[in-house]
A and B are shown apart, each in its own frame.
Chain A
Amino acid sequence: MAIGETIRNSQIWKSIFRHPMPLDRRNRIVVMLTNFFLHLHPVSIKKQGIALSFTWCMGGVTFFLFLVETVTGVLLMFYYRPTLEWAYNDILALRDVTSLGILRELHRWAAHAMVITTWLHMYRVFLTGSYKPPREFNWVIGVILLLLVLLLSFTGYLLPWDQLAIWAITVGSNMARATPILGYEGPGQQLLTIGGIDMITDGSDARFGLLGARFVGEETLNRFYVLHCIAIPLAAALLMAIHFWRVRKDGGISGPL
């Protein structure tokens, strides 16, 4: 008896996988229904719906890149300390000393790739008119996810704490200073005064809320680190779950009616 068969007949194996190998039609259906990771998919699907020339696989690739980012990101968190003393040096060590320093390259390039694949996914969904009823709301969720991808990338950009990082974030976050009414250089902020005292100053405006300070400093590093590693990924994970669920509930992968 082959060793593989012994394993597959053992109680442990059978307790994990509640079905035989998906070799015949029946078990190929059963595997989709009984496996947690696979049950996201339907059991059968239109051949057209999974043609690569039709879907480009960009949504799937984006999700895979999110998983890559999660795994490499968690590992990078073991090495990296988000403080002014250590942030830059830890990244330097990742490049020059740490054995698996390539994790940083993987993380950064997968992040860039994720921005691109998100755009391409959205482009495909537009070109096939797949945002039309009944999928309108899932498109809206997709737009929020696009925003979260950009914010994830933006908050991560600061963490190496080099010149490239802080000036890119400075330029980007300076925009918040000009928010109408709520930015201290924005139009109309002069109107928010009580008894001659400005309510909106550089210590209380939208940019201050974003940076946690009047300029990109240690508070910003901490704030962006938490947003990057915890807050935004959690929000994205929740919305992704809804996004995928809605794909199924709104009629599956789109196709001509």
Chain B
Amino acid sequence: MHSNGLFLQDVAGFLGSYYISVAIMNAVAAFVLWQSKKQVGWVVCWLVFSGVMLVLASLALSGSAELVPALPPMVRNLVNALSGPVNYTLGTTALFSMLFILRKFFVQPMVAWTILNAMLVIMGLSMADENFASIVMKPDNVPIVGLVFLLAFFTWLATSQAVVNDERIKQGLPPMEKLNDEKVLVWPDLVYTELICMVAVSALLLVWAIFLQAPLEEPASSVKTPNPSKAPWYFLGLQEMLVYFDPWYAGVVLPSLVVFGLMALPYIDFNKKGNGYYSIEERKFSYLVYQFGFFELWITLIILGTFLRGPNWNFFGPFEYWSPYKVEVLNNVDLPQMFWVGLFDRPLPLAPAGASVLTQVGTILLREAPGLVVMGAYLLLLPPLLAVTVFRKFYAQMGFIRYMVMSNLMLLMFTLPLKMVLRWTLNLKYIISIPEISLNF
């Protein structure tokens, strides 16, 4: 408690001004609502909430470490105990699915505002935890916190417009963007907006630069490897993929495919609708694929890699101490091992010493037959199979080449979540493992 007390004294000033900002934000919201003379119930609600935030602020600023508002240790331990790569991934997937399915409910301004406040309060309470704060407050990690809030805001902004447009299109009306067809002069309407944006961004940067010092650690030393060693934060999604794949795939092939896939996107997406306005219903398939790739396979992995991966790349709960002595059991098995040893109780096929190259290659192919069959079926059989079933319409409209590029990119993208699930359920390490040519998949 005492060492924690020192930390709480340090963070109290920040938390105090943090809660005051939230209080002011809600007071302004209440005032704006009151001015518009709508939703009086919410005015009272945000005023009361603002008052509660002021109470939290005064508790934080009371000068007594015990009074700083924080999550009870029981809750923190529970969160730590419940978090792990599996629950994290399934939980975020469930969360995104819920937000998507119930989007008409979540885009309502008052619901969105409630969620924002909840996020802010949870953030504030969590910051009173030393382990949480030490990771989140690392100067280079601060942008990720900003990214989370910005993504939440802009996704709300886009979805609320898409929901309105979808409803209008269903009624046979043009999208909202079409209504404002009037033309204006760029001077002053656009150049002034740009000027104001530039001033606002400059001000934000200056405040950020004044209050947060850029990190500078000890001088570089090629003999002192930090644990954990992490790439810059925007590449941590890729580093997280290394848990499931070898570097040649996670670090080279998959990133290249991401770039290639993004470039191919406008040529694959043959849907003419939804050009130049927000909509979801008109382009559900491309919307869902993009959102899955962007949120689930990029952003959540970055957050996982930055905030929840500690020494030895072990998983740590958000309130857990990053102990380098944490040991995790690694009992992953390759598919050939499962097949030959597990299923048939035979040793792995092995070429006799001094065998000809042809025999060696043959033995390797035999040994890896189960993996090669699985991957062959996945990459070669599935595209035509899908073309005559689920993607029948797509295939007809896209033509052979376009369809093959699309289906293969999708299948390769889904190797990541599939491998994750296989790892969690079967402890599968590699589907194909040919160390002879460093090829593990």
**Which residue numbers of A lie inside 8 Å of B, CB to CB?**
22, 25, 28-29, 31-32, 38, 41-48, 50-54, 56-57, 60-61, 64-65, 68, 88, 91-92, 95, 102, 104-106, 108-110, 112-113, 115-116, 119-120, 123-124, 126-133, 135-136, 139-140, 143-144, 146-147, 150, 153-154, 157, 160-168, 170-172, 174-180, 183, 185-191, 215-217, 254-257
Q: Check A136/B185 contact, CB under 8 A, given A127-B162, A161-B219.
A: no
Question: Is there an interface contact between A256 and B276, defined as CB atoms closer than 8 Å?
Answer: yes
Would you list 10 pairs from A and B whose C-beta atoms are within 8 A, ordered by A residue? A32-B186, A41-B190, A44-B184, A45-B190, A105-B214, A123-B151, A127-B287, A131-B266, A171-B231, A190-B438
| Given A166-B222, A174-B247, A256-B177, 12 more pairs with CB closer than 8 A | A38-B186, A47-B181, A61-B201, A64-B201, A88-B220, A109-B208, A129-B273, A129-B283, A132-B272, A162-B217, A187-B437, A187-B440
Q: How far is the CA of A29 from the CA of B188 in the complex (A)?
A: 10
Asked if B356 lies at the interface with its beta carbon under 8 angstroms from chain A, I say no
Count of chain B residues near A, Cβ 8 A: 94
- Are A257 and B276 interface neighbours, CB within 8 A? yes
Is there contact, CB below 8 Å, between B154 and A217?
Answer: no
Report Cα–Cα, A115/B238, bound state, in Å.
16
CB closest residue in chain B, given A157: B232
Give the 8 A-B residue pairs with the shortest CB-CB distance, closest first: A175-B251, A178-B247, A105-B209, A136-B266, A187-B439, A48-B180, A112-B143, A178-B248
* Residues from chain B with Cβ under 8 Å of A187 in the complex: 248, 434, 437-440
A252 to B60, CA, bound (A): 51
B78 contacts across to A, CB distance below 8 A: none
CA distance A255 to B182 in the complex (A): 12
Q: When chains A and B are docked, how far (Å) is the Cα of A257 from the Cα of B187?
A: 24
User: Is B191 at the interface (CB under 8 A from chain A)?
Assistant: yes
A-chain residues with CB within 8 Å of residue B252 when the two chains form the complex: 175-176, 178-180, 183, 186
A133 to B251, CA, bound (A): 32
Contact B229 A28 (CB under 8 A): no
Cβ–Cβ contact A164 & B217, under 8 A: yes
Which single residue of chain B is at the shortest CB-CB distance from A51? B180
Please report which residues of chain B, range 205-242, place their CB below 8 angstroms from some CB of chain A when the two chains form the complex: 205-206, 208-210, 212-222, 224-226, 229-232, 234-235, 238-239
Query: Given A127-B278, A178-B251 in contact, is the A54-B219 Cβ separation under 8 Å?
Result: no
Do the beta carbons of B143 and A217 come within 8 Å of each other?
no
User: Which residues of chain A are near B201, meaning CB under 8 Å?
Assistant: 61, 64-65, 68, 113
Residue of A nearest to B249 (CB): A178
B229 nearest CB across to chain A (Å): 4
- Chain B residue contacts of A105, Cβ below 8 A: 208-210, 212-214
* B158 sits at the interface (CB 8 A): yes
Cβ–Cβ < 8 Å partners of A146 in chain B: 262
Given A116-B146, A166-B220, do A102 and B158 touch, yes or no (CB 8 Å)? Answer: no
A132 and B269 within 8 A (CB):
yes
Contact status B189-A56, CB under 8 Å: no
Closest Cβ of chain A: how far from B149's Cβ, in Å?
Answer: 11
B185 with A25: CB separation less than 8 A: yes
Residues on B with beta carbons closer than 8 Å to the beta carbon of A44: 183-186
A136 and B267 form a contact (CB under 8 A):
yes
A188 partner residues in chain B, CB cutoff 8 A: 437-439
How far is it, in angstroms, between the C-alpha of A91 and the C-alpha of B218 when the chains are bound? Answer: 12
Q: Is B230 touching A168 in the complex (CB atoms < 8 A)? A: yes
Assuming the contacts A171-B230, A256-B276, asked whether A43 and B294 have C-beta atoms less than 8 A apart, the reply is no
In the assembled complex, how far is the CB of residue A158 from the closest CB belonging to chain B, in whole angstroms?
Answer: 9
For window 335-382 of B, CB contacts with A under 8 Å fall at none
Closest to B299 in A: A119
User: CB < 8 Å: which of A43, A109, A129, A165 contacts B220?
Assistant: A165
Among B182, B263, B278, B436, contact of A128 (Cβ-Cβ < 8 Å): B278
Known contacts A132-B266, A180-B248; A123 and B184 CB within 8 A of each other: no
Chain B neighbourhood of A53, CB < 8 A: 157, 161
Is the pair A129, B277 in contact by a Cβ cutoff of 8 Å? yes
**Closest A-chain residue to B253, C-beta based?**
A180
Q: Which residues of B contact A108 (CB under 8 A)?
A: 214
**Residues of chain A within 8 A of B181, CB atoms compared:** 46-48
Asked if B26 is an interface residue, CB under 8 A from chain A, the answer is no
Write the chain B residue with the least CB distance to A165. Answer: B220
Closest to B252 in A: A179
Chain B residue at minimal CB-CB distance from A103: B209
Q: Is the CB of A167 within 8 A of B226?
A: yes
B306 at the interface (CB under 8 A from A): no
Contacts of B275 in A (CB 8 A): 129-130, 132-133, 254, 256-257
Partner of A52, one of B193, B209, B283: B193
Contacts of B197 in A (CB 8 A): 57, 60-61, 64
Q: Which residue of B lies closest to A138 (CB)?
A: B266
A55 to chain B, nearest CB (A): 9
Is B243 interfacial (CB-CB < 8 Å)? Answer: no
Q: Are A163 and B224 in contact (CB under 8 A)?
A: yes
Query: How many Å lie between the Cα of A64 and that of B161 in the bound state?
Result: 27
User: Is there contact, CB below 8 Å, between B158 and A112?
Assistant: no
Cβ of B140 within 8 Å of any chain A Cβ, yes or no, is yes
Partner of B277, one of A135, A167, A216, A255: A255
- Nearest to A136 among chain B residues (CB) is B266
Closest Cβ of chain A to B145, distance in Å, is 11
Q: Mark B255-293, 1 if CB is under 8 A from A, else 0.
A: 000010011011101011111111100010001001000
Chain A residues near B334 (CB, 8 Å)?
Answer: none
Query: For A28, A53, A61, A109, which residue has the most chain B Cβ atoms within 10 angstroms?
Result: A109
Q: Residues of A contacting B69 with CB < 8 Å? A: none
Q: Complex Cα distance A167/B188, Å?
A: 49
